[in-house]
Amino acid sequence: MAQYLQHLVFVGAIVQLAGIISYIKETLKGNTKPNKVTWLLWTVAPLIATFAAIADGVRWSVLPVFMSGFGPLLVLLASFVNKKSYWKLEKFDYLCGLCSILALVLWGITKEPVIAIIFAIASDAFAAVPTLMKSWKYSETETADAYTTGLFNSLTSFVAIKMWSFAAIAFPVYLVMINSSLILAIYRKRIFKKEFAAKEKENVSQNQNLS
C-alpha cells in the first residue's frame, strides 16, 4: 500500500503542471500579471533545494520541490510574451530579490546539504514576498490555480517520504505554508466579502460627509 501511495508524487507533479498551464494561459491573455522578480527566483531556489536534497539521499519525494522550480520557469518565459501581463517592479521588489540572491550566495559558500536547504527556503521566501503583497492588495492580478495545485503537489511529498529527516520535509513544509498564504491572499476578499462591502460603504459615507 505504501508503495502505491508514493506514486502520488507523480500525480501531484501532473496536477501542478496543469495549474501552471492555467496560470500561463491567464498570463498570455494579460489577465494575470506575474512579478518577474518572484518567478525568476522561484525558479532558482527550488532547483537548488532539489539538488541539495538529492545529495543528502532524498529521492522521489523531492519531485514536488523540483516541479516548484520548473513550473515558475515556464511562467517567467510566458510573462515576456504579452505586454498586458507586465507588472511594474518597485524598489521593494528588487530589495527582496537582492536578499533572495544573497541567500543563494550563502548556499554556495556552505556546500552543506542541510544548510543549503535552509538558505534555499530563505531565498524562496524573500522571492515570494512581492507576489504575496501584490496578491493581498491587487488580488485581481493573480490566478490561484498555480498555488492551489502547488499546495496539493507539496502535500504529496509527505506520502513519499521513506525516512523522515529535515532534508526530506523542510522545503515541502515551507511550500505548504507559502501556497496556503498566497491562496488566502487572493481569495480573502471573497471569503470576507461582507466585511469588505461594509468597510467600502463606510469609506464612501465618510467621503460624502467630508465633501
pLDDT at 22 over 90: yes
Q: Which domain holds residue 200?
A: 2-210
Q: Residue 95 — very low, low, confident or very high, per pLDDT cuts 50/70/90? A: very high
pLDDT at 37 over 80: yes
pLDDT at 211 over 60: no
Residue 6 has what pLDDT? 62
pLDDT over 90 for what percent of the chain?
Answer: 35
Nearest to 140 by CA among 30, 28, 31: 31
**Structural domains counted in the chain:** 1
